Chain A
Amino acid sequence: MSATGIGASVKRKEDKRFLTGQGNYTHDIDRPNQTYAYILRSPMAHATIKSVGVDAAKGAPGVVAVFTGADMAEIGGIPCGWGVNNKDGSPMNEPKHPVLAEGKVRHVGDPIAVVIAETYEQAKDAAEMIELDLEELPAVIDMEKAISGSGALVHDDAPDNLCYDWELGDEAEVDAEFKNAAHVVSIDVTNNRLIPNAMEPRAAIGEFDKATGEYTLYTTSQNPHVIRLLMGAFVLSLPEHKLRVVAPDVGGGFGSKIYHYAEEAIVTWAAPRVGRPIKWVAERSEAFMSDAHGRDHITHADLALDAEGKFLGLKVYTKANMGAYLSTFSTCVPTYLHATLLAGVYTTPKIYSEVKAIFTNTVPVDAYRGAGRPEATYLLERLVSKAAWELGIDQVEIRRKNFIPKDAFPYQTPVALQYDSGDYEASLDAALKLADYDGFPARKEEAAKRGKLRGIGFSTYVEACGIAPSAVVGSLGARAGLFESANVRVHPTGSVSIFTGSHSHGQGHETTFAQLVSETLGIPIDNVDIVHGDTNKVAFGMGTYGSRSLAVGGEAIMKALGKVTDKAKKIAAHILEASEADIEFKDGKFTVAGTDKEMAFGEIALAAYVPHNFPHDQLEPGLEEQAFYDPMNFTYPGGCHICEVEIDPDTGVVEVVGMTAVDDVGRVINPMIVEGQIHGGLAQGIGQALLETCVYDEDGQLVTGSYMDYCMPRADNLPDFKAATTETLCAHNSLGVKGCGEVGAIGSPPSVINAVLDALRDRGVTDISMPATPQKVWQALRAAEMPAAAE
């Protein structure tokens, strides 16, 4: 292994600029003669817009322009990227999502008007002069009430507030399994709504060049080409060759920066109308009410087991909150990223799932780190642990008994996916050892002496990422391909620029991808630069989400590198006067087998661009190759997370005292970066399990609208993580990689809640919802004590 090749913990190349304040984020970019936009947002969850009086605002100091929904009525709505059909095959209900509200506002934070001024403060001052006449309507907040048929409608053309009623599997067939069951275990779980809170708030700068007719949008996006396509083709009707989208350094996304947002369209549309560039930067409180939220499922599930504890069948009924409008990938999250994972790591032969997607007067909900897979993992792992407790089977044994064995791959699940590789016993065994499971009883006893309730919880999970095979997702309703692009540009002196359609917003692509190049071409890592995030530089690519960058984007790079080395071999064969078959390429040198004749990679590069001695009859000059890679299948990382908690019964405080994660992410390119990704995911998983939740009151006001009430995990909420990897290679990509970005957030939440319940079981507590706050734990303990007190 070279010091900068595959498997090396190379320090992140990008960190030098980030740590020295030299990053170039959207807000760092200032365009000549720039103006500033402030978005006036709805203070009400649901209201009819009677009038928006903008005359005073237009005359306010520094104001350049004010636009409302009426001004933008001719443009298209914000599109949804995935169509899901109802049980009867009819298409989902897809109401228009206007850029600026038209006629009605549908959530607190819904954009109503934009004020553009010389300074941001002037824009904000002027916005206070806008006379807003809103007639409040009853708000639709609770999902059960929303579909009850008796309440208000978020969209007049969406009866019962239903977006779709979808199913996977044959309910009657699964019911038959239940008839043979020795036991049926049922559970009701809520997957709490989360607010993403990337460190960098969203921002956008729109610019129009009158001379060329070209638009430029700088934006905080995980996928600039997707934004160009959605905004250009569907919203603003701008030809793609006249629209450049730049996503420079981006400070975290976690999914929330995948989607096309209204503000991007507003600044791009308005730029030629005011004749000047326009910058918009979200305030933190704006982010709370305008970034797409995550999760928000209510699920009932039933598991049928035989007398020995083998799973026979699973039925899952989910209500998924879409919010007020359909965000870009909102519709596929509870369906194709959720129901398809319900087999988990188990051999459950029959599975049925129903998903009702529901409109409410809340911020749109979309994919958030894990997207659908955390929800599936949470309900399944809660259910498995509940079954173990109810049946008196050991936590570990019930899992082992039902694991898909390692010799069963490729394994076809009953819910459409075919897992290509995995070894769930191996990660479980490694985790048990790392967590010192055998020592748990002694630790529990010791904790009891200190008055603490100690519990241990498990989650053995698999997820589907490396998103995605285009033909498969296309057949399921995706309105985009999910390949990735790569271009390898070898410069005449042998240094290399890689142009990738993936986008790094914290993942360390500039290092990991450079390691692939250093390894493959045998050149120093400092001779490699990764270019991303600019549609004028990079070939059409799909961006970064769904743990796809390495498994799809990295594969595209490998494919392009393969084309480069193939051509270089031909050039070497010509110059070294040997047959191509005799050329060997190793450690950056092309050698004629069995001789000392060799050329360095840099010499070949020079020969390609100074082609004096060159096989012109066979090859074109130059050394630059383009590749697109479309995966054959999803990738399937999996593993075991074990959480240990101590609970203070006096206060209900849960302390995570141990968090062990053994994940199989396939081949590891940079172990340090993988560990960092897992740590971040675990922090978010623990955040969801114990701390974070988005709360709306019944009028649709966002109660958790700031960090005063929305609890993000902090360092002192987290233990030292024990993270390790096991390895089964992905069977369908050349690197054998699976993806690591989401595993921490997918696997960990049920391990935390199972640990909490394990700790509370002796006191008679059988259920608790996320986040397991001190108050909830205290209430659960008190409720469990009540019957005894009553006796």
Chain B
Amino acid sequence: MHNFEYHKPSSVDEAVKALGAGEDPTLVAGGMTLIPTMKQRLAAPSDLVDLSGVAELVGVSDEGDHVKIGAMTTHAAVAASSDVPPSLAALAGNIGDAQVRNRGTIGGSVANNDPTACYPSACLALGATIVTTQREIPADDFFTGMFETALEEGEIITAVKFPKPEAGNYQKFENPASRYALVGVFVAKTKEGVRVAVTGAGQDGVFRANDIEQALSSNFSPDAVDSSSIPVDSLNGDIHASAEYRQHLIGVMARRAVAAING
């Protein structure tokens, strides 16, 4: 790891200010991706702005038709919260291992937009809104590509707002080695209809499976799911799973999610 300047602000305002300093500053939330990357010397920020001292970024609050989760809320806290929709709590409770869940945060995960992370699929499927220091961004506009988001320089995620769904379920097929999502499918019945988001599979990161959404809108049953229309050349292939296998698994996971919702 290269040397860096360390900042530990205690408010969002201080964090924004600290982020303005240095040549190549970066935020660290739980550090579950950034710290290993720095240790491998693949990232070498000049300044590290640690958000762990910003108390206002932590916590879950029930806001009536939606639940608001502070950006620095850990996966473990989300998993344990009774205010969070059960499908989202279950997703959080199955990210990584206990150590990761007690360090990793929703804001860090969403900002990183790892194409194999779980949270982005929940944001898309549940129609979440990403709240930042500058604006509110609908999830549909937020995830712009692999490890890429709509965040501008100096913009900090403060919270994620999830509308409460009628029902939802997340099915993850884990990469046997890393246990990240090889394919993860979040199916939600929302006020705006059925939304299906897929993580782990897309070359551009998380995406909505429109054909499956349409099929489920008219017939919400496992039999209605068909993933074969998702173009194979839009999907990732690697040593663990070819694009064809991922296409197939999207269907399997979606069917299982629908079956779980239907009970």
With CB as the reference atom, state the residue of chain B lying closest to A708: B178
**Contacting residue for B252 out of A121, A651, A691, A773, CB 8 A:** A651
Interface assignment of B240: CB less than 8 Å from any CB of chain A: yes
Interface assignment of A30: CB less than 8 Å from any CB of chain B: no
Which residues from chain A contact B173 at a C-beta distance below 8 Å?
A: 651, 774
**Contacting residue for B248 out of A695, A710, A773, A778, CB 8 A:** A778
Interface assignment of B262: CB less than 8 Å from any CB of chain A: no
With CB as the reference atom, state the residue of chain B lying closest to A124: B41
With CB as the reference atom, state the residue of chain B lying closest to A710: B177
Q: What is the total number of residues of chain A having a CB less than 8 Å from a CB of chain B?
A: 22
Interface residues in B238-258 by Cβ distance below 8 A to A read 239-242, 245, 248-249, 252
Interface assignment of B176: CB less than 8 Å from any CB of chain A: yes
Which residues from chain A contact B180 at a C-beta distance below 8 Å?
A: 708
Q: Which of A128, A695, A708 has the most chain B CB atoms inside 10 A of its CB?
A: A708
Chain B interface size range: 10 to 19
B176 touches A711 (CB 8 A): yes
Q: Count A/B pairs, Cβ under 8 Å.
A: 41
Interface assignment of B1: CB less than 8 Å from any CB of chain A: yes
Which residues from chain B contact A778 at a C-beta distance below 8 Å?
A: 245, 248
CA distance A779 to B176 in the complex (A): 16
Q: Evaluate whether A695 and B177 lie within 8 angstroms (CB atoms) in the complex, with A121-B1, A651-B252, A775-B245 already known.
A: no
A703 touches B176 (CB 8 A): no
- What are the interface flags for A114-141 relative to B under an 8 Å C-beta threshold, 1 for contact and 0 otherwise? 0000000100110010000000000000
B239 touches A704 (CB 8 A): yes
- What are the interface flags for A750-791 relative to B under an 8 Å C-beta threshold, 1 for contact and 0 otherwise? 000000000000000000000001110011000000000000
B249 touches A773 (CB 8 A): no
Q: Evaluate whether A711 and B177 lie within 8 angstroms (CB atoms) in the complex, with A651-B249, A779-B245 already known.
A: yes
With CB as the reference atom, state the residue of chain A lying closest to B256: A650
With CB as the reference atom, state the residue of chain A lying closest to B246: A775
CA distance A651 to B182 in the complex (A): 12
CA distance A125 to B240 in the complex (A): 34
CA distance A124 to B2 in the complex (A): 10
With CB as the reference atom, state the residue of chain A lying closest to B178: A708
Interface assignment of A144: CB less than 8 Å from any CB of chain B: no
- What are the interface flags for B150-187 relative to A under an 8 Å C-beta threshold, 1 for contact and 0 otherwise? 00000000000000000000000101111010000000
CA distance A691 to B41 in the complex (A): 29
CA distance A124 to B248 in the complex (A): 45
B239 touches A708 (CB 8 A): no
B245 touches A707 (CB 8 A): no
Q: Nearest Cβ in chain A — how far from B214, in angstroms?
A: 23
Which residues from chain A contact B252 at a C-beta distance below 8 Å?
A: 650-651
Q: Evaluate whether A708 and B177 lie within 8 angstroms (CB atoms) in the complex, with A650-B252, A695-B239, A779-B245 already known.
A: yes
CA distance A778 to B178 in the complex (A): 20
CA distance A703 to B239 in the complex (A): 8
Which residues from chain A contact B176 at a C-beta distance below 8 Å?
A: 691, 711, 773-774
CA distance A708 to B179 in the complex (A): 8
CA distance A83 to B60 in the complex (A): 68
Interface residues in A677-731 by Cβ distance below 8 A to B read 691, 695, 703-704, 707-712
With CB as the reference atom, state the residue of chain B lying closest to A717: B176
A709 touches B240 (CB 8 A): yes
Interface residues in A729-763 by Cβ distance below 8 A to B read none
Which residues from chain B contact A704 at a C-beta distance below 8 Å?
A: 177, 239
Residues of chain A touching chain B, judged by Cβ–Cβ distance below 8 Å, are 121, 124-125, 128, 285, 650-651, 691, 695, 703-704, 707-712, 773-775, 778-779
Jot down 19 A-B pairs with beta carbons below 8 A, ordered by A: A125-B2, A285-B40, A651-B249, A691-B176, A691-B177, A695-B239, A703-B239, A704-B239, A707-B178, A708-B178, A709-B177, A709-B178, A773-B176, A773-B240, A774-B173, A775-B241, A775-B242, A778-B248, A779-B245
Residues of chain B touching chain A, judged by Cβ–Cβ distance below 8 Å, are 1-2, 40-41, 173, 175-178, 180, 239-242, 245, 248-249, 252
User: What 8 additional pairs, Cβ within 8 angstroms, besides A128-B41, A774-B176?
Assistant: A651-B249, A695-B239, A707-B177, A708-B177, A709-B177, A778-B245, A778-B248, A779-B242
